[in-house]
Amino acid sequence: MLLAALTGGLLAVVVRSPLPLDAWAAHPQASFLLSLGKNPFPVRLVRPPVAPLSAMAQLGRQVFFDASLSSSGRLSCASCHSPEHAYGPPGDDPVMTGGAILSRQGLRAVPSLMYLERQPNFSVGPDDDETENVSPALLAAQSFSAPRAKKTARDTAQSAANLVPQGGLFWDGRVDTLQDQALFPLLSPFEMDGGSIEAEAARLRQAPYAHLLIQLFGAAVFESPRMTVAEALFAVARYQIEDPSFHPYSSKYDAWLEGTARLSQAELRGYLLFNDPAKANCAGCHLDQANGDGLPPLFTDDQFEALGVPRNMALNVNRDPAWFDLGVCGPIRNDMADQTQYCGMFLTPTLRNVATRRVFMHNGIYHTLQQVMDFYNLRDTDPGAIYPTGAGGKVEKFNDIPPSYRTNTDTVDPPLDRTLGEKPANSEQDLQDIIAFLKTLTDGYRPGSGGGAP
Amino acid sequence: MRCKCLTSIVAGVLAVTFVSWTSGAVHAATPPDGAVAPARISGRSPQDATPTTTPIKHLVIIFNENVSFDHYFATYPNAPNPLGEPAFTAAPRTPSVNNLANANLLTNNPNFTNTANGTDAAEPFRLDRTQANTADQNHAYTAEQQAYNGGKADLFPKFTGKGTSGGVGAFGTKGQVMGYFDGNTVTAMWRYAQHFAMSDNAYTDTYGPSTPGALNVIAGQTNGLQLVATTKKPSTLAAVSYYMNDGQAGVTMINDVDPGYDVCSVPADQGMMTGKNIGDLLNDAGITWGGFMGGFNLQTKNANGTTGCKRSTDSAIVGAKVVDYIPHHNWFQYYESTANPTHARPSSMRTIGYSYEHDGNTRDRANHQYDLPDFYRAVKAGNFPAVSFVKLPAYQDGHAGYSDPLDEQAGTVELINFLQQLRDWRSTAVIVTWDDSDGWYDHTFAKPTNPSADAEADQLDGPGKCGTGTPLAGVQGKPVNGRCGPGTRIPFLVISPWVKPNSVTHTLITQASVVRFIEDNWLHGGRLGDGSFDAGAGSIMDMFDFSSGGKAVPIYLDPVSGDPVSKPPRP
C-alpha cells in the first residue's frame, strides 16, 4: 500500500515535470533533482578577480561620469550607459538623443557595457590563432561559398566553425577595445558631440582630475591631444575592466549554476525551452553553460546574425526609404562594405540583465520581452503579426533589409527555420516561461528574493 | 604512487615498441652520436661529469617574445612608484645603462620631431602596470629597417607602429610604439638586473620577427629555407612575405612561417631549414639538451578543457584564451635532424635530454623536443639536461597582443624560483632574453656588420641597401642576402651564482652569442660553420666572474608583484 502510494507519487512527479520521459529513463536521479528546480550538476564559477580599484580605474570612474566632456554639458558615458540600468539605456526611447541641445537622435539602441571583459576581437570565424596575418576581409571573401552549420542549443561547437563574423564592440563589431569604443560616443555629433580630439583634450586639461592624469602619465600627457584622450579613455576602459559592477555574475541563474538556488517551475520550464532545439533554441546563440574552467556563461556566442527585425519608423533616419542600417557591411562601419553576405548582420548581445531593459534589437524596435518572444516565434509562421502590410495587402517581411540582401537572414537556426502557416515552435505559455527564465539572469539575486533582482 | 609511475613507464615502453617510426632516414638506428640515457640516476650526474670550460654545467635559456631593451629598461633604475603598485628603489652603486633616460631622449625625441611620422609622431611615454595588455607592433624585417632609417632611429611610429589591437581591455594609441614599461610593471626583470648581470648592448642577429630570432639563437643562420608549402612570393615592399631570394639561387627566411610537417602547423605555408643547429653539435658530443616548448604535449588537457594543437590558457590580464603552442616559435622543429613533428612523447623522464634510451639502441621518440612541464618533472627527478631552451606557454611569453609583461613575469619568476632552489643551482646559468623587439622603439643602432642588398626587402639605408660590404656566406658557402644585422636591441640577462652582481656589460653581443657560449663551454670552441653568426658573435663571458667562487645570492620573487619574498616559494 505504502509502496503503491510512493510509486504513484513518483509517477505523478515524473508526469507533471517538464522533463521528457527519456531524460527520466537515462538520468533518473538528475532528472529528479532538476524537476525540483535544483541543478543536478553544480559547478564552481570563476568570477573576475575583485581588488581595490587601481589609480587608473579611479581616474576612469571620474571620466565615465564627467558630463563636461559633452558639448551640451549634460551627457556623460553614464547618461546612456546608466549604472542603475545595467549600464544600458535608462528609458524606453528606441535610441538616445544627444548633441549640443540633446536634439539629435542616435541610430541604434544603446548596448549594455556589461560583460564585455572577455569580448573577443572582431574576426571572421572559425577561431584560428595561427592565421594572425590574414585580414578579416580575406576570410570574409572565402565565406561566400562556405557552408554554414545549423546552430542548435545542443551543439554549439559545430557552429563555432562557421565562417561568420564574430566579436568586436558595437552592434557592428567595428572596434576591438573598450578604449577605442569609448572614443565614438565622445565625438559622435548625436551623442556627446565633443567636436574633436583637440577639443576633448582641452576639456580634460581643465577637468578636476587633470592632476591624476599627470600623476599617472607625466606632465607630457597634455602635450599631445591624442595621447591625452587615449590615456583618459584607457582609464575608462580600465574602470570597466576592474569595477565589479560591470561583471558581477550575481544573478539567480549564476546561483543556480553553483547549486545554491532553486528555479521555480516556470523558470525551469523556461530554461528547458531555452535549451530545447525543437522549441525556443535560444541557447544556440545565447550560450548558457559554464565552460570547462568555470568561467560563467556570457549568454552570447559573440557571432553576428541577420534576424531581419522590422524597420523602426520611430527613427527619423528611417523616413528616408533609401536608408538602411546594414550592420557589419555599413554604413556606420566602413571596412566591410564589399562583404555583402554580411549585410543585415548585427552582433548577438548578452542576455544577462535583459529583463531590466526596455529597448531591444539594434534599432530599438521592441520594448518588451513579450514582443521579442513573438518576433522569434512568429516571424516565419505568421509574419503578418510581425511586419507591416503594404499597399497590395502583402506582408513586408524583412522590410529593414533591401531585397537583394534578404537571403542573408537566418532561416536555418530553429525556430527561424519554420514556414508560413506552420505551427509556431512555442505556445503562449512557453513564451511566458522563457520570460520567467530570462528574469533569472538579472544581477543582484539574494536567496529568498524570488525571480530577479531585489 | 610508485605503482602508477611504473605503469606509465611500462606503457611508454610498450608504445615505443609498437609504434613504428616512419621518418627512418632521420633517425637511423645506429647511434654514431647523441647521448644515451643512463639506466638509473644516481651519484654524480652525467652533466656534472662532462668537462666544461667554466663551472657552468647547466644552461637554461628562457627565450621570451618581443621586447626591445628600451621598452623594459628606458628609465632603469628609476620608477615613479604610483600608489598601489609594486615600488622599486634602486640598489646603491647600480651601474648606468644606455637607455632613454640617460641618452636624454624622453623628450624632444626624433620620433616626435620628425614630421615624416605624421599624426603618429610621439614622445616616449610611460606604460602603467594597468596597461600591461598592449597592442602588438609591426616587427617585420623590412619595417624594422625602415624604422631605424639609416641609424637615425626616428621613424618607429611610421613604420613599426600599431599592428593588431590586443584584447578588449588593451591599451592602444597612435605612437604607441614609443611606450615603455618600468620597474612598477616589469618589476622582476629590474630586480634580476640588480642582483645578477645584464647587457645593454645585445641585439638580434638580423632584423625581423620571431622565427628568424628563434633560428639565430640556436643556429646563427636564417639562410637555407626550403619551402615545404607556400602561398607566398618573395617579400616585396608592397607584399610582405616570410622569405626572399638570397641572390645565390637559394632562399632566406626573413619573417614568420610555420615549421614543415609539424602537426600543428598551418598546412598552406611551411618551411624547413637546411644546415645545422647547436642541437646537432651537442648530439655529436653526446651532451644532453632539450627544447622545452609550452603547449608541446598534445595529450595534455588544460583546465578549460582544451587539448591538442588548440590547447589554450585563459589569461585574466589579456582577457582571452591564448593558444599555448605557437609552431613558428619552435626553434628545433625547422631542422629535420632535431624535429619532432608528431610531438611524440619521451619514453620516460629519464630519457629527457637524451637521444637514446638506456639500451643505447632505441632512439627516443621525442628527439629532444618536449613540453615545459617535462622540464620541471625531469629536473625534479634528478635529470637536469646540460642545455635547455625554454619557451613559456604563449600567454606567458611576453608577446604584446596575446601576452603581456605580467603573465611573462609570472612564468619567468616561477621557473627561476624553482631553479634557484636546486642543488645544481651552484652550477647553473639562466639566460633570459628575447626573440625580437616587436618593433617597440629602441634608441640605439648597431651599424650592420652583415649587409644585405635585396632591392625590395632591404631598406635601412635606402632602397636595396642595408649596410655595406660583402655579406657572410649562407648554407651553400656563398654570400647571401636576407641576413642584415645586427637588428634590434633586446634585453639580455644572465642569472647565475657565477655572474657579477648588479653588473651591466656593454660588449656588443647577439642571439648567436648564446650559441657561442654553449660551444665555448661544452664543445671546446667548435663552431657551426656555413656562415653561422656564431663565428663572429660577441662573448658573454665578461658577465661572469668565475674566480669569485660563485657567490651571487639567489633572490626569490613573488610571481605576481615581482617583489622579493623572504622564503623560497614551493614550486
Question: Cα-Cα-Cα-Cα dihedral of A418, A419, A422, A426, to 10°?
Answer: 30
The pTM is what?
Answer: 0.81
What is the overall mean pLDDT for chain A? Answer: 89
Measure in Å the smallest separation between the Cα of A120 and chain B Cα atoms: 7
- A125 Cβ neighbours under 8 A, 6+ residues apart: A160, A161, A162, A163, A164, A165, A166, A303
Q: Which residue of B has its CA nearest to A50?
A: B316
Q: Which residue of B has its CA nearest to A238?
A: B169
For the cut 70, the answer to whether the pLDDT of residue B24 exceeds it is: no
Q: Which residue of A has its CA nearest to B168?
A: A177
Q: What is the pLDDT of residue B493?
A: 98
Phi and psi at residue B226, to the nearest 5°: -110, 125
Measure in Å the smallest separation between the Cα of B525 and chain A Cα atoms: 38
**Residue B202, helix vs strand vs coil:** strand
Q: What is the pLDDT of residue A156?
A: 56
Closest CB from A119, A121, A230 relative to B173: A230
pLDDT band at residue B27 under the 50/70/90 scheme: very low
Neighbour count for residue A99 (Cβ, 10 Å): 19
d(CA B533, CA B390): 21
User: Are the beta carbons of A226 and B119 separated by less than 8 Å?
Assistant: yes
- What are the pLDDT digits (tens) for A263-303? 999 999 999 999 999 999 999 999 999 877 788 999 999 99
CB burial string A45-61: b at 16+ within 10 A, e below: ebebeeeebbbbbbbbb
Signed CA dihedral, A394, A400, A402, A403: sign only: negative
d(CA A260, CA A38): 8
Question: Cα-Cα-Cα-Cα dihedral of B326, B330, B336, B341, to 10°?
Answer: -40
Q: What is the pLDDT of residue A1?
A: 57
Query: Which stretch of A154-158, A185-189, B118-122, B267-271 has the lowest confidence by average pLDDT?
Result: A154-158
| Inter-residue contact B260 to B227 (CB < 8 Å) | no
For testing the chain B interface, which of A132, A183, A198, A302 should be mutated: the one with the most B CBs within 10 Å? A132
Please report, for residues A219, A281, B81, B105, B453, the alpha-carbon distance to residue B102 in angstroms, rounded to integers and kept in the order given: 19, 63, 19, 8, 34
Query: Which stretch of A50-64, B7-21, B375-389 has the lowest confidence by average pLDDT?
Result: B7-21
Mean of pLDDT values over B90-105: 97
pLDDT band at residue B42 under the 50/70/90 scheme: low
What is the overall mean pLDDT for chain B? Answer: 91
**Residue B273, helix vs strand vs coil:** strand
Which H or E run includes A238? Answer: helix A225-242
User: Are the beta carbons of A48 and B125 separated by less than 8 Å?
Assistant: no
How many Cα atoms occupy the beta-carbon half-sphere of B349 within 13 Å?
A: 17
Find residue B59's DSSP bridge partners. B387, B429
d(CA B276, CA B452): 22
Mean of pLDDT values over B102-129: 92
Contacts of A175 in chain B (CB under 8 A): 165
User: Are the beta carbons of B166 and A177 separated by less than 8 Å?
Assistant: yes
Nearest alpha carbon to residue B477 among B211, B334, B274? B274
Q: What is the pLDDT of residue A162?
A: 58
pLDDT band at residue B79 under the 50/70/90 scheme: very high
Nearest alpha carbon to residue A36 among A278, A256, A264? A264
- For helices A428-438 and A265-275, the axis angle rounded to 10 degrees is 100
d(CA B536, CA A11): 85
- Please name the amino acid found at residue B307: T
Q: What is the pLDDT of residue A144?
A: 53
| Inter-residue contact A19 to A268 (CB < 8 Å) | no
For the cut 80, the answer to whether the pLDDT of residue A228 exceeds it is: yes
- What are the pLDDT digits (tens) for B43-63? 789 999 999 999 999 999 999
Please report, for residues B119, B231, B238, the alpha-carbon distance to residue B137 in angstroms, rounded to integers and kept in the order given: 17, 24, 18
User: Are the beta carbons of A293 and B258 separated by less than 8 Å?
Assistant: no
* Beta-strand runs (E) in A63-169: 97-98, 104-105, 123-124, 165-166
pLDDT band at residue B11 under the 50/70/90 scheme: very low
Residues of B with CB under 8 A from a CB of A: 80, 82-85, 107, 119, 122-123, 125-126, 128-131, 164-175, 258, 265-266, 302-306, 312, 314, 316, 319-320, 322-323, 326-327, 402
- What are the pLDDT digits (tens) for B177-229? 999 999 999 999 999 999 999 999 999 999 999 999 999 999 999 999 999 99
For the cut 70, the answer to whether the pLDDT of residue B254 exceeds it is: yes
User: Are the beta carbons of A129 and B173 separated by less than 8 Å?
Assistant: no
Mean of pLDDT values over B387-410: 96
Find residue A89's DSSP bridge partners. none
DSSP at B544? B
Neighbour count for residue A68 (Cβ, 10 Å): 13
- What are the pLDDT digits (tens) for B274-305? 999 999 999 999 999 999 999 999 999 998 88
Closest CB from A56, A176, A291 relative to B168: A176
pLDDT band at residue A379 under the 50/70/90 scheme: very high
The residue ranking higher by pLDDT, B171 or A438, is A438
Classify burial at A265, counting beta carbons within 10 Å of its beta carbon; exposed 0-12, middle 13-18, buried 19 or more: middle
Mean of pLDDT values over A312-335: 96
d(CA B109, CA B105): 5
For the cut 70, the answer to whether the pLDDT of residue A137 exceeds it is: no
Closest CB from B84, B169, B323 relative to A241: B169
Question: Cα-Cα-Cα-Cα dihedral of A379, A381, A386, A392, to 10°?
Answer: 120
Measure in Å the smallest separation between the Cα of B323 and chain A Cα atoms: 7
pLDDT band at residue B9 under the 50/70/90 scheme: very low
Place of cell 608592397: B238
Measure in Å the smallest separation between the Cα of B78 and chain A Cα atoms: 14
User: Are the beta carbons of B319 and A226 separated by less than 8 Å?
Assistant: no
User: Are the beta carbons of A54 and B84 separated by less than 8 Å?
Assistant: yes
Neighbour count for residue A454 (Cβ, 10 Å): 9
d(CA B193, CA B212): 26
Closest CB from A179, A216, A295 relative to B128: A216
Mean of pLDDT values over B428-457: 97
Closest CB from A48, A130, A291 relative to B305: A291
CA-derived radius of gyration, chain A: 24
Q: What is the pLDDT of residue A17?
A: 82
pLDDT band at residue A146 under the 50/70/90 scheme: low
d(CA B316, CA A118): 9
Nearest alpha carbon to residue B222 among B241, B250, B264, B260? B250
Nearest alpha carbon to residue A237 among B85, B167, B409, B71? B167
